[in-house]
Amino acid sequence: MSGKKRQRPASAGSHHQANKKQQAKPTSVLSKTFDLWKILPNITQHEAVVQLPIGKKIKHSQVFIKITPKQRLELPIFLADLKRALELDNVSLHETFIELTAFTLLEGCVAITAILNYLRNVLIKPSNDIKYWEIDSTSLLRGSILVHKSVKVEQSDTVSDLLFRKAVKPKPFKCQLASVISIPQFKEVYLEADSLSDWMVGLLNSLANCRFRPIRGSVTDLLEKNITLDRQRLMSSMSELPFLKELFDPALLAMKNKHLIDADHKNLEAFMTELQEHNNRELTVTSKSSTDSKAKHGAAVSSTNLRSKAGTTASRYKAGNSVPNKINERRIQKNPAARVPQYPAVSAQDINRSCLAIIKASISKVAEKSSFQIIKSYVKFPKSQLDLIHDNLEHIKSKTNCNMVILNLQTVHESTTWFQQLPIDSKIDPSPSSTRVLSVGGVGGKCKLALQMVLALLETGRL
């Protein structure tokens, strides 16, 4: 018995397999992203949400989200896409905050979630790398919204509960009012959750429990004034702090930076000297080439004069010598092909057909680019349709939020490059005097919509 090997128990194999599973388990906990649109159907079927009127507009609803100056620069394109995706026109961008009004439970929940997620990412990522509707599973979903002081907000945990109640299992979603009010006449509501599903369910229930009331006067003007005043007070209080002046010694700082400043001055002087020498060299070469060209031109003129004199001194019986003189004179004259090109007569139907082909080609070119990219495109329309385009221009601009301008003779040249890049098969080349050029600039998706509206206007005569 002592010489034999002990066999491993049958349970040892299963225990070893369990260890393998435990080792492989952390790989499944890696960071992954959730698509807001894909998780939304499951949220609406949740037992805590199924009884809520998620499609009904909340009466007198008005919610605000504070933003910084840096965030405001990145928001216009995102908000334009948010409005298009939710078909929600009641989202407004102000200098210091975003305003949501007259929304349903579902619209408010999705809009607040997307905006807070974008504001968090815009501080740590370039705007081009942010995917609006994807939320990282490892990120802690949290943020604050502002409502007027008249709004009744139901909190998940009050201050007294947090201070005097015994520790219990934390709730998956927190909705608390800030105990310190930084913006007068407004309530700051803090929201937090551990997962996206808990966040969506909790936010839907919190918005459903809020009681909005009608308010006299403009709430947006009041909030703008109070936020601006709060920022001014913060800046003035920071500038009055005495320790800011004690953070560095100006004399020590100047001594350490002196050699760097001197080196920059020397580099700038050397660059200026090199640039001046390069410019002087180019001027010398240019003057030499102009002198040589003048000398060659003088020699050519003198040889022409000699030939003409030789032809005039010949005998009147040798009339053949006068013919080359006329040929030479014709050669010296300017090229008649360099004159203004003559455009063939084109009918109104052909002009309209050519303009429609240009608009369709411009739509195809804009569609190839990103819907969030800023694009400036150009199209042509018959001059006879100028009044039709002019009457509907403001309507198209209000629907698409695009910058649309009818170019004049001084600015029409900027469209040449765009038209040269269009793959147009039409062989009709109407005269520039028979057409006008329309410039359409804006976000790619809206720019495409504006071009489609112009195409429909020219084809049918109405929008």
pLDDT at 190 over 50: yes
Would you place residue 434 in the very low, low, confident or very high pLDDT band (cuts 50, 70, 90)?
Answer: confident
Q: Report the pLDDT value the prediction gives residue 448, as an integer from 0 to 100.
A: 92
Q: Report the pLDDT value the prediction gives residue 272, as an integer from 0 to 100.
A: 84
* pTM (two decimals): 0.47
Whether the Cβ atoms of residue 93 and residue 195 lie closer than 8 Å to each other: no
pLDDT at 98 over 90: yes
Phi, then psi, of 35 in degrees rounded to 5: -85, 125
Residues 48-58, mean pLDDT to the nearest whole number: 87
pLDDT at 133 over 90: no
Q: What CA–CA distance (Å, rounded) separates 370 from 326?
A: 63
Q: Which residue has the higher pLDDT, 204 or 17?
A: 204
pLDDT at 178 over 80: yes
pLDDT at 95 over 60: yes
Would you place residue 144 in the very low, low, confident or very high pLDDT band (cuts 50, 70, 90)?
Answer: very high
Residues 47-64, mean pLDDT to the nearest whole number: 89
Residues 11-39, mean pLDDT to the nearest whole number: 52
Averaged confidence pLDDT in the chain: 78
Domain ranges in the chain with CATH number 3.30.1370.10: 348-460
pLDDT at 449 over 90: yes
pLDDT at 296 over 70: no
Task: Show Cβ contacts of residue 344 under 8 Å, excluding neighbours closer than 6 positions.
Answer: 429
* Euclidean distance between the first and the last CA atom of the chain, given in angstroms as a whole number: 98
Element (H, E) at 189: strand 186-193
Q: What CA–CA distance (Å, rounded) separates 367 from 444?
A: 7
Q: What CA–CA distance (Å, rounded) separates 199 from 116?
A: 12
List pLDDT tens digits, range 216-262: 889 999 999 999 998 888 877 766 666 656 666 778 888 888 888 88
Q: Which residue has the higher pLDDT, 309 or 186?
A: 186
Q: Sheet holding 403-406: strands in order across? A: 374-382, 435-443, 403-406
> Residue 275 corresponds to which tokens in the numbers above?
């640039």
CA 72, 74, 76: angle at the middle one, nearest 5?
A: 80
pLDDT at 212 over 90: yes
List pLDDT tens digits, range 259-291: 888 888 888 888 888 888 877 776 665 555 556
SS3 content of the chain, % helix, strand, coil (to 5): 55, 15, 30
Residues 418-422, mean pLDDT to the nearest whole number: 89
CATH homologous superfamily of 348-460: K Homology domain, type 1 (3.30.1370.10)
pLDDT at 319 over 60: no
pLDDT at 33 over 90: no
441 class by beta-carbon count within 10 Å (0-12 exposed, 13-18 middle, 19+ buried): middle
Residue 390: how many CB atoms within 10 A of its CB? 11
pLDDT at 363 over 90: yes
Residues 400-419, mean pLDDT to the nearest whole number: 89
What own/partner pairs with CB < 8 Å and gap ≥ 24 does 169-176 have?
Answer: 172/198, 172/202, 173/198, 173/199, 173/201, 173/202, 173/203, 173/206, 174/202, 175/202, 175/206
Q: Tally DSSP H helices, then E strands, for the chain.
A: 13, 11
Q: Report the pLDDT value the prediction gives residue 11, as an integer from 0 to 100.
A: 36
Segment among 15-24, 228-237, 374-383 with least mean pLDDT = 15-24
pLDDT at 4 over 60: no
Strand partners, 323: none
Task: Show Cβ contacts of residue 311 under 8 Å, excluding neighbours closer than 6 positions.
Answer: 321, 322, 324, 325
Q: Report the pLDDT value the prediction gives residue 316, as an integer from 0 to 100.
A: 42
